[in-house]
Amino acid sequence: MSFYWITNSSFDMDARYQVSSLVAGEVEYIAERNLLFIPHGLIAFASHISDTFDPLFVPFIVPAILRGMFAAIDRRGSTVNVQNQVVNWWSNSSRSKFASKLQCFQDQYAAEMQDHFGLDIDDEFFMDENVADNAVLHLLHDVFRKAMHLARRTPRDSRVPGFESLTVDQLFFVNYAAAHCDGFNANTFRRQVIYKDCVPADLRVNVPLKNYPKFSEVFKCQRNAPMNPENRCELW
């Protein structure tokens, strides 16, 4: 996409899509047009590193794309069908099952907010984002593995200086966490939650990972350890 901008510099991309930003790192799903907008800012850095898409970029770039795609089929997109008609296309059974799973996530994140920041917050303001973070993780892992296979990358080929001891799957999770890297500041995180700015980065990383059994398997976490709990919230 970066090269598209360069080779078509006279094309007015700003006027083509009615979105929040052309440079932000988050994908936007526009339900009225059934359109997934992937901003230049999301992938520009990768195009300046390599002319090819290295599988190691997957945990950095693809999560936002998958979250945008998920918005088309979760409760946000449940009232607009594939013909862009306003209609509830979910079955009553699907709505009931989703509500049950949503409650699990809501209770889990409320407990995390209390444990980390002493905040008693159990509203649904961030729930669509939280559910999406959990929903796309195993899909993201699958995309990563398939990308490694298609690129014919071996574990030796994927070694990163300073992290040679990590397996390919462990490196995937490390890169996934690095993609959310943010300086830890408890007061800043509390303000992010109180003023409903965003979910703190450590929760966006750690909660989905502890809900994904493959993570604890790859890192051999002990049973009932913080990142390998007995009870998990799962969507699929």
Q: Is the pLDDT of residue 25 over 70?
A: no
Helix or strand (DSSP H, E) at 36: strand 35-37
Q: Is the pLDDT of residue 16 over 70?
A: no
Can you give the pTM of this predicted structure? 0.83
The gap between the terminal CA atoms of the chain, to the nearest Å, is 31
pLDDT reported for residue 188: 76
Q: Could you give all domains of the chain from N- to C-terminal order, each with its CATH number? A: 1-51 (no CATH), 54-218 (3.40.390.10)
Q: What is the pLDDT of residues 38-83, one digit of tens each?
A: 887 777 766 666 667 788 889 998 999 999 999 999 998 898 888 8
d(CA 185, CA 139): 31
Q: What is the pLDDT of residues 190-213, one digit of tens each?
A: 777 777 777 888 899 999 999 999
The burial of 149, by beta-carbon neighbours within 10 Å (0-12 exposed, 13-18 middle, 19 or more buried), is given as: exposed
pLDDT reported for residue 156: 74
Mean pLDDT of the chain, nearest integer: 83
